[in-house]
């Protein structure tokens, strides 16, 4: 039986979106009038067809039922959790790597004072959550044992977790348990909850919100000729199957975030297709997180215009993702990105 997927597209942002929504010419995303769309793309493994929202009523009955079920998820208001406000787009997840070897800032903040200072800077600059990690998962990196990972983050976490909302970036259940005891508000597991078999039990027991990220392979081997039949639909199916697994294991809450994992087992063409069509994941019914900050795709595109912090590429992709309704962006340079967002919003709200 042929499988159909629904992608909201042809988005409007700001004041124009509000006007079109008021005239019922566009559908607000998750009841946010500032972001709306007036077309959908119906996708199969063999075809794509873009139609206006007014043409949905003319679809065959079975397909129309499927599309309307997807649209219900796309339109439904998201409930806030983990200090994230889903009435606004985007929320910012500030990056605090307490590692000696992360790809862009390894060794820069891995002392107690520098780590604490940077956490407060990211928060004061506008981050909604600070994503703290003690293990690099850059391409080619090797696993760090849990004792060393916890030693890297323990003191800094204890110093900031009661003062700043914290997300914990880890693949290990014991690190998760320690962080949850301290009061972290979100677990961000880049392995898609597959690295540690105990992870799901920890998340179930503590009912803590978490991120499911898609990664093809492990950080050590993920960039060695990654292959997909269709990266967009393969990753959509991955999320759908993972949610079914979690439900079967007894996790019933909806405080779950989906991250397609830009750069994690993806080449440039995969990353670009995912970013261009990221709005397909809205039809799964959960908030979307994208880590676009300083990623290699910026270097691959900009070539001689590459730079260390890749601010230009980060900002341009941030603004695009924002206008596609992506609710959370994982960002290193929070101040500069917030500046860009504020200016863009001011321009589009007049």
Q: In angstroms, rounded to a whole number, what is the distance separating the alpha carbons of residues 211 and 169?
A: 9
Q: Are strands 186-189 and 166-169 parallel, antiparallel or unpaired?
A: parallel
Q: In angstroms, rounded to a whole number, what is the distance separating the alpha carbons of residues 39 and 337?
A: 29
Structure tokens at 331: 């960002």
Structure tokens at 293: 């900050």
Q: In angstroms, rounded to a whole number, what is the distance separating the alpha carbons of residues 112 and 312?
A: 30
What is the crossing angle of helices 173-182 and 199-206, to 10°?
20
Q: In angstroms, rounded to a whole number, what is the distance separating the alpha carbons of residues 15 and 19?
A: 6
Identify the burial level of 237 via C-beta atoms within 10 angstroms of its C-beta, where 0-12 means exposed, 13-18 middle and 19 or more buried.
middle
- Which residue bears the tokens 């967009």? 232
Q: If you compute the radius of gyration of the chain from its CA atoms, what whole number of angstroms results?
A: 20
Query: Is 252 among the residues known to form the active site?
Result: no
Q: In angstroms, rounded to a whole number, what is the distance separating the alpha carbons of residues 309 and 194?
A: 31
Q: Which residues pair with 28 in a beta bridge?
A: 36
Among residues 172, 295, 296, 310, the one annotated as catalytic is: 295
Query: Is 45 among the residues known to form the active site?
Result: no
Q: Is 38 helix (H, G, I), strand (E, B) or coil?
A: strand
* Beta strands, E only, 271-347: 289-290, 328-331
Tally Cβ neighbours within 10 Å of residue 38: 18
Among residues 330, 342, 345, 350, the one annotated as catalytic is: 330
Q: Which residues of 158-183 are buried (b: 16+ CB within 10 A; e: fewer)?
A: eebbeebbbbbbbbbbbbbebbbebe
* Beta strands, E only, 181-327: 186-189, 210-213, 256-259, 289-290
Active site residues: 295, 330
């Amino acid at each position: 039986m042929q499988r159909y997927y629904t992608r909201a597209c042809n988005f409007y942002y700001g004041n124009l979106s509000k006007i079109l929504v008021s005239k019922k010419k566009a559908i607000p995303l998750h009841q946010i009038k500032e972001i709306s769309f007036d077309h959908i793309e119906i996708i199969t493994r063999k075809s794509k067809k873009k139609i206006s929202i007014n043409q949905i009523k003319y679809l065959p009955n079975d397909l129309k039922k499927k599309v309307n079920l997807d649209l219900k998820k796309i339109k439904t208001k998201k409930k806030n959790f983990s200090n994230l406000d889903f009435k606004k787009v985007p929320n910012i997840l500030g990056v605090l790597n307490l590692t000696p070897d992360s790809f862009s800032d390894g060794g820069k903040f891995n002392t107690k004072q520098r780590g604490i200072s940077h956490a407060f800077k990211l928060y004061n600059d506008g981050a909604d959550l600070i994503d703290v990690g003690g293990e690099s998962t850059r391409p080619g990196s090797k696993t760090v044992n849990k004792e060393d990972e916890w030693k890297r983050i323990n003191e800094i976490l204890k110093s900031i977790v009661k003062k700043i909302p914290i997300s914990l970036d880890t693949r290990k259940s014991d690190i998760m348990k320690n962080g949850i005891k301290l009061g972290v508000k979100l677990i961000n597991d880049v392995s898609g909850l597959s690295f540690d078999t105990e992870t799901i039990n920890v998340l179930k027991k503590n009912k803590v919100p978490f991120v499911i990220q898609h990664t093809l392979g492990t950080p050590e081997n993920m960039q060695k000729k990654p292959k997909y039949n269709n990266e967009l639909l393969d990753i959509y199916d991955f999320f759908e199957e993972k949610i079914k697994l979690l439900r079967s294991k007894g996790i019933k809450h909806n405080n779950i975030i989906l991250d397609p994992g830009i750069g994690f087992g993806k080449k440039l063409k995969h990353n670009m297709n995912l970013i261009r069509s990221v709005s397909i994941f809205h039809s799964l019914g959960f908030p979307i997180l994208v880590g676009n900050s300083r990623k290699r795709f910026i270097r691959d595109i900009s070539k001689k215009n590459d730079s260390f912090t890749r601010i230009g590429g980060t900002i341009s992709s941030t603004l695009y993702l924002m206008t596609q309704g992506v609710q959370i962006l994982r960002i290193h340079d929070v101040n500069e990105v917030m500046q860009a967002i504020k200016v863009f919003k001011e321009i589009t709200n007049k």
